[in-house]
Structure formats: C-alpha cells, structure tokens
Chain A
Amino acid sequence: MSITSLLLVILLGTVAAYFLGDARSRQVAKPIGGVRHLAALPSYYASMVSLWALIPGLAVVLFWSIFDGPIIESLVRGVLPIETKNLPPEQFGLVMSQIHNIVAGVGSIEQIGLEYQPAVQRLQSLEKVSSAWMPILTIIVLVLGCLMGLAAVTAKRNARYSVERIFNITLFVCSSIAIFTTLGIILSVLFESLRFFEKVPFFDFVFGTHWSPQIAIRADQTGASGSFGVIPLIAGTLLISFIALLIAVPIGLMSAIYLSEYASTRVRNIVKPALEVLAGVPTVVYGFFAALTVAPSIRHWGDAARDWGAANDIAWLAGLSVSSESALAAGIVMGIMIIPFVSSLSDDVINAVPQSLRNGSFGLGATQSETIRKVIFPAALPGIVGGVLLAASRAIGETMIVVMAAGLAANLTINPLEAVTTVTVQIVTLLVGDQEFDSAKTLAAFALGLFLFVITLALNVIALRVVKKYREQYD
C-alpha cells in the first residue's frame, strides 16, 4: 500500500471516528436528559475522538517512514561479508546502493558478486515485511485510538478543553518550524563545512586566490591544496553586486522620490504597480534575458567600440575585449531586478519623514528639490542605508541571473567586461550533476553556503536594526 493511499485511509478513519464520537456523545447524553447536560457540545466530543484516532495513526506512519530505512539498513549490514563492512564510507555506500538497485530490479547480482546474495535476499524480505506491516499497524493503532477516545466520552469530561489543548499545541508546534528551519540551515551548512575544513585548511579557503575545484577531483580524491581559494568568488560576487547597486540605488531612489513627492495620485497608481512587475518576474527569466539579450548586445557594442577605436587610433579602446559572459551583463540585469525593491523600501522610508520638516523647509522658501535633497534625504538617510544593505544582501544571494549570465571562470578582476564567477554560481555548479558523496568538491558548496548565510544574515540584521532605529526616531 502506498503512502498516499494509507494517508487516505487515515483520513477516512478520522472522519469515521468523528461520527462515532458524535453518536457516542448523544448516546451518553440520552439517559441524563439530553446534550445540554454534557460538559461540552457533541461536536467537541466528536473532534476529540477523531483526534485520538488521527494523531497516533499519523505518528506511526511518520516514524515508520523515517526509521524503516536505517533499521533495515543495519539489519542488512549484519549479513554482509566482513571485508565489505570495513570498506571506507563512500565505497560502502556505493555497495549498499547497488544492493538497493538490485532489489528494485535494476541490474543483476552477477554484476556485484554472489557474496552479496544473502544481503539482497535479506533486504528483499525485510522490505516486504515492512511494507506489509506498516498499514496493518497503522490501522490497528488508529482503531485503538478511536476506541479509547470513545471510552473517554463521558458526561463529566470537558471535551472542549482537550480539543482546545491539542489545538494550542498544534499552533505552537507549527510556530516552532521557523526555528527548526533556521536550526536546520545552520546545522546542515555547519556540519558539512566542518567536514570540508578537515580536507581543506580553513585559511587556504578564506585567503586562497585560486579557485578550481574540478582539478582537485582529478588529481586526488582526498581533496586538494590551494584550489579552493574563495577570494575570486568573493571578488566576483562583490563586483556584480556593486554594478547592480550602482544601477538600482539611484534609479530606485529617484523613482521613489518622484513618485512620493511629485507624482499625482493617478500617475502613482499606474506607475507603482508597473514598476512592481519587475519584482514579480522570476529570476530565471532575468537570467535568460541577461544571457541571451543583454550580454550579446554588450559584446556587440564592445566590439563596435573596439573597431572604432582601432580605426581612430585610440589605443585603450582598440584593446577592448568583452567576454561573452561579462560581469556587466549580469550586474545590469540584477540591478534592474532590484529596482522595485530599492524603490519600495525608499518609499516607506521617505514617507516616514514627518510632513512638518517639509513644511519647515517650504516655509523658508526652499524649492521642492532643495527640500528633498537637503532636508528629506539627510533625514531619511539611515533608513535608505538600511534599504541599500537589504538590497545588497539580495544581490549577493541572487543565483539564477549569475548562473546563467556570469559564467564559471574564477577570474580575480575588477574589469566588468570580463567573466567572473560568484559564490552562488559555484554552489549550484558544485552540487548540480553527479556529485561524489563526501568529496571536497561537494562539501565546498556547503562551506560557500555557510559563508553566504553568514554574510546575508549579518547584512539583514544590521539593516533591520538601522531601519528600526530610524523608524523609532520619527514615531
């Protein structure tokens, strides 16, 4: 029985339990003079009984699906030849997955050797037992839960109280998911990073200026020396983010200023959503746009400029070379993407500047632009800085645009016409495709992830602090 149909059975059981609970409560109520004499409404008794059935049922399914894998694995391990058990973890994992494949019907026992026959048989029978017993056990538990729930339906018991308690606990558990997510992120990137730093020294990673994980794999599987230097990635990330901010900050800010200080309500109502469209376009679309439209035209213009420079003897122009995957293309498109982000943050911040300051300035005979530049902008500056930091964190964490348009060449350069690579590009590249478990290459992605997480988190925390402080100032 598949999980989906089992879940369906549980659902049906829960509904049945609800009606049973309802009937039972009315039955209990009859001799004592009607439902008015029960401690809670029948629907609460019904809900209580259905929860008593549902929760244990779900728990069985959940725990079974989490733990049957590892338990079966360890049992199968017992019948493996001793030399297999002593294999290093990577190769052992390979053998286990081959055994799994054979049980699943892919490949044959001859390919890996007959000494694994007992293991294959063991696995086969255990899986059969497991898949047969899971639904049976689930249904038994469900029915037992339902019966116990029915037995608990008494006139004195306040079912509402139990139901509401379960309700509260559920809410609390759901709220904690945010914490577990953060914890999950931290633990997963941290653990894998620590394993990475066992293979590659921390300082080689942080201060290394050379990044070429591919070579490391070919040379030796135990990792490499010197080819995991993160500096070029950081430089590339910063270069692209800088270009993006160079576009997004002035344009986003000026748009916000114009919309909030000059534009009529009608213009604002049209232009604002039009700009917001830029925020709703998926990043993969921007990536496509950057790679297929912007990068080729930059290259085209670069070549034209070079030819023109050569024709007119302008040495620096004649030496111009534009890579087909340039930092500039990725940066420009990323900048376009974060324009609405900057503009809506600035908009909030500018609107928080009290009207009295504007009046004060107008009252002295300042023009509107003087008021904006000399009073509103300085007053809003902390908030705008916060917004820029948030935008920077966006740019640093942005992935698809750079994956599609920035390329993989880990050049250490500040020339925006060259190809560079970024932290996010490398995370994706290292993890997409065939990955060797435990190789330095795979683990490096997590180290980069840790780096990215720490940087963006720090930027966000600082930015939110700054913005909050700023808001309190005018509240």
Chain B
Amino acid sequence: MNTAQKTNPEAAVEIPGKYQTVGHPLLDDPKMTVRSTSVFYAEKQAIFDVDLDIGKNEVISMIGPSGCGKSTFLRCLNRMNDTIDICRVEGDLRLDDEDIYSKKIDVVELRARVGMVFQKPNPFPKSIYENVAYGARIHGLTDNKVQLDELVEKSLVRCGLWNEVKDRLEEPATGLSGGQQQRLCIARAIAVGPEVILMDEPCSALDPIATATVEELIHELSENFTIAIVTHSMQQAARVSQRTAYFHLGKLIEVNETSQVFTNPEHKLTEEYITGRIG
C-alpha cells in the first residue's frame, strides 16, 4: 500500500481500518516518514493506519473537521503523545531515516529537533528574554551571557519580533499581545535549533492582523525549516503550504499539492469539506 492510487472513495471510508489514501502521500528523499501509524486513546482509536511523508523544507498543512485527529497525528511526530498516559502509538515513524520510537532515540533530543508551537500561545510566566533563552539554557547551547544574548536576539530577529520587544526584554512575556506571544513561542522554538517545526493551529487564537504576521513568518521560516501545520482555515493552508493532507475521522483521506486539493480534490470527502458541506 506504499504506492498511493485512486480507488473508489465511498468504499474507502466505510471499511474501518482498511482504506487507501488518495493523491501523493509519499515522496522521494523525505525528512520524515510515517508508515502504518495508528493512535489509540485507551480503547478508542483516534488515528487509523496512516502513511505519509514530509519533505525537506516543505510546508505541509493538515486540514479536516475538528476531532478528526490532526493534533493527535501532529503530536506523534515529536512524541508529545508520550505525555498522555492513556495514549498509545503504533507504526513506524522516522526522522532522517531514524526510527523515532526506537529505544535508542532520546525523546528530549527528538523534541529539540522537532519543535512544536501550540494552538494557544503559551509563553512561560517569565520575562521575554527568559522565554527565548529557556531552550538554550536547558540544552546548554551557549557558554556565556554574550552568546546567549546573541542567540536570543537572532531568534527574535528571525521572528520579526526584535524591534517590537528589544527595549523591554525583561518585562513579563504575558504582557505581550496574542500575536506577539505566538511569535515569541515560535522564536522560543527556533532558538533550540530544530529541523522540523510542528504548528497546531497557531493562528486560531489570533486576530486577522496577527494571523497575517504569523503567516508571513511561517513563509519565511519555510526556507530553513520543515514545517507541518494544522489549520482549520483553508485559506491559510492555501497561503502557506505546498502540500495539503486531508484527515477525516482519523483517516488520512487525501494528500496532494495544495493548489490541487483546493481546486480539484480527488476524493469526494475532501471536496465536501472544502466546499463547506462537512465542517
């Protein structure tokens, strides 16, 4: 089932656990590969047998009705699901061809390589500076204050936040606006030096103007990082991503070039979703 092919869409959904993803879920020379992956919350299965590749320096967006398992899927990629007691992940997930669920892998290091930004901005109740410096401190990335200052500045500059906050680095981060907080969280993540950044609906708690800034930032970051973004906004997916994956009730229905998904979806369910019949 490693070669994606077009099959009868209706039949695909009705037989649970056995279906085919339409479109092109697989790539040559991917950054991350996901094979036959299922996720369970206790007895309840939330992700069904997903195969997907994430390419180097691409932005892939995941869309689908709420509760379909987008966040759950995303959290598999840096093993954030480990923090949920009842959650169990099955399948083969690789980063640069290393099995990320193998015993040899250190979760802590994995999460530094695969950073994450959350739906609601969650700055730590510390100063702006300390928020960005946090990752560098715990991972021991710098030897002295000068290097740390440099790293903080660089990260903030990359997120376009430097000019806004450079005069109040010592003020609490919780005093920033929502959009600034979210960009701070992104700065905080890139300060650690990740290769992949996972973003779970990073703009859903932001107003349209802040959303635009963050989208622009994602666009810029995509030059250096692999980004997987969950979004409920199809416009956003269209604006920032090269490929789009459509999830439905825990199943990966379709993966295609973003433009194709929005103009000419292959699967009936995808079409129903983008035309607003499934919400």
Name which residue of chain A comes closest to B111, CB basis. Answer: A365
B108 engages A367 (CB within 8 Å) = yes
Question: Could you mark each residue 410-437 of chain A with 1 if its beta carbon is under 8 Å from any beta carbon of chain B, else 0?
Answer: 0000000000000000000000000000
A359 within 8 A of partner (CB):
yes
Question: Could you mark each residue 344-369 of chain A with 1 if its beta carbon is under 8 Å from any beta carbon of chain B, else 0?
Answer: 00000000001011111111111100
A360 engages B118 (CB within 8 Å) = yes
A325 to B83, CA, bound (A): 50
Which stretch, A372-380, A391-399, A447-455, touches the partner chain B? A372-380
A370 within 8 A of partner (CB):
yes
B17 within 8 A of partner (CB):
no
Name which residue of chain A comes closest to B113, CB basis. Answer: A365
Within 186-201 of B, Cβ neighbours of A (below 8 Å) are at 188-189, 192
Set of chain B residues within 8 Å of A264, measured between Cβ atoms: 85
B30 within 8 A of partner (CB):
no
What is the minimal beta-carbon distance from B135 to any residue of chain A, in angstroms? 4
B94 within 8 A of partner (CB):
no
A374 engages B110 (CB within 8 Å) = no
Name which residue of chain B comes closest to A375, CB basis. Answer: B124
A363 engages B111 (CB within 8 Å) = yes
A378 to B126, CA, bound (A): 8
B111 engages A379 (CB within 8 Å) = no
Residue total for A at the interface (Cβ-Cβ under 8 A): 20
A395 to B5, CA, bound (A): 73
Question: Could you mark each residue 75-86 of chain B with 1 if its beta carbon is under 8 Å from any beta carbon of chain A, else 0?
Answer: 000101001010
Name which residue of chain A comes closest to B189, CB basis. Answer: A364
A361 to B120, CA, bound (A): 14
A378 engages B135 (CB within 8 Å) = no
Q: Please judge, given known A-B contacts A356-B122, A357-B122, A359-B122, whether A364 and B134 are in contact too, CB under 8 Å.
A: yes
Set of chain A residues within 8 Å of B118, measured between Cβ atoms: 356, 359-360, 363
A365 engages B124 (CB within 8 Å) = no
A379 engages B125 (CB within 8 Å) = yes
A378 engages B125 (CB within 8 Å) = yes
Set of chain B residues within 8 Å of A359, measured between Cβ atoms: 80, 83, 116, 118, 122
B126 engages A363 (CB within 8 Å) = no
What is the minimal beta-carbon distance from B212 to any residue of chain A, in angstroms? 24
A365 engages B192 (CB within 8 Å) = yes
Please tell me which one of the listed residues A356, A366, A370 contacts residue B120 in the complex, with CB atoms under 8 A apart.
A356
B1 within 8 A of partner (CB):
no
A379 to B125, CA, bound (A): 6
Set of chain A residues within 8 Å of B85, measured between Cβ atoms: 264-265
Set of chain B residues within 8 Å of A363, measured between Cβ atoms: 78, 80, 111, 115-118, 189
A358 to B185, CA, bound (A): 13
What is the minimal beta-carbon distance from A354 to any residue of chain B, in angstroms? 8
A370 to B123, CA, bound (A): 16
B138 within 8 A of partner (CB):
yes
B109 within 8 A of partner (CB):
yes
Set of chain A residues within 8 Å of B116, measured between Cβ atoms: 359, 363-364
**Which residue among A265, A356, A363, A366 has the maximum number of chain B CB atoms within 10 Å of its CB?**
A363
A360 to B117, CA, bound (A): 7
Which residues of B come within 8 Å of A, CB atoms? 78, 80, 83, 85, 108-113, 115-118, 120, 122-126, 134-135, 137-139, 185, 188-189, 192
With A265-B85, A358-B83, A379-B124 known, 5 other A-B pairs at CB within 8 A are A356-B118, A356-B120, A357-B125, A365-B112, A375-B134
Which residues of A come within 8 Å of B, CB atoms? 264-265, 354, 356-367, 370, 374-375, 378-379
Q: Which 7 A-B pairs have the closest CB atoms?
A: A365-B112, A363-B116, A365-B111, A356-B122, A360-B122, A364-B135, A370-B138
